[in-house]
Structure 1
Amino acid sequence: MEIARIDYEGNLHCNAIHLKSGKEIETDAPTDNNGKGEAFSPTDLMSTSLGLCMITIMGIKARDMNIDLAGTSISVGKVMASNPRRVAEIHLRIEVPTVVSARDRDILEAAGKACPVAKSLHPDVLQAVEFEWASA
């Protein structure tokens, strides 16, 4: 099933169109790999996808538990390796403004860490995830 169309625009810039919604994402090569860093790089998107997937799955679980995670923010970082050039580490800091019990935190964190992107990444990619929960 087709989900997107990607057009190479030249000068290391691409435009991806989500076919169902028509939403667009622009990319550029990173500055450390011949680009200008004018947009997300493909590896930026991969790293960001982990955070997006985790909070989406946490949001689904939280909704089932009648917990509101609105206002949660995620800081995303990545570390590149060479030989071969690849993402070696993805660092996420998930800041949740919602006060929940320790039991509910454990359930939500486990749900996030079991998201499809986390399970699809190669085991050599370190997923360093830190949660910061609001306290009462």
Structure 2
Amino acid sequence: ELNDFFDGKSTSTISKVVKKAKRITILRNIGISLFVIVFLLITLSLSWLFILRGSQEKAMRDIELFSRITNPNIELLTSQNESNGVFEGILTFNRYKEIEGIPVDWSNHVVRYSLFGGMSRFTGHSLIQN
């Protein structure tokens, strides 16, 4: 049988070996492709979250600085990140003002920030709360 193989008379054995090699190669390529896709998705997701978090921190610093300049008697309490979209997020700041030493709830300051550095204020959220 070995002599038939080397003489080229045993074509069924050669075709079986070639088919098996093709299957193994295809499975290996599929496995490598799946691994690379999963790795890239995880890496890109974490990078995107890191960039969005940086935009949020920059927006918080800008809002605090702007508030100190435009509303010097109004203090910002806490910020809440209400939602994160793909390219933007919403920050809500609770504010208060001290009148004769008594803290009085002031308005909530709601700001939408963008991944690309822009900020915009929601309308209707700057009235004094009762």
TM-score range, shorter chain: 0.3 to 0.5
Structure with bigger gyration radius: 2
Query: TM-score w.r.t. structure 1 length?
Result: 0.39
User: Greater share of helix residues, 1 or 2?
Assistant: 2
Query: TM-score w.r.t. structure 2 length?
Result: 0.41
Q: Highest relative contact order (Cα 8 Å, sep 6+), 1 or 2?
A: 1
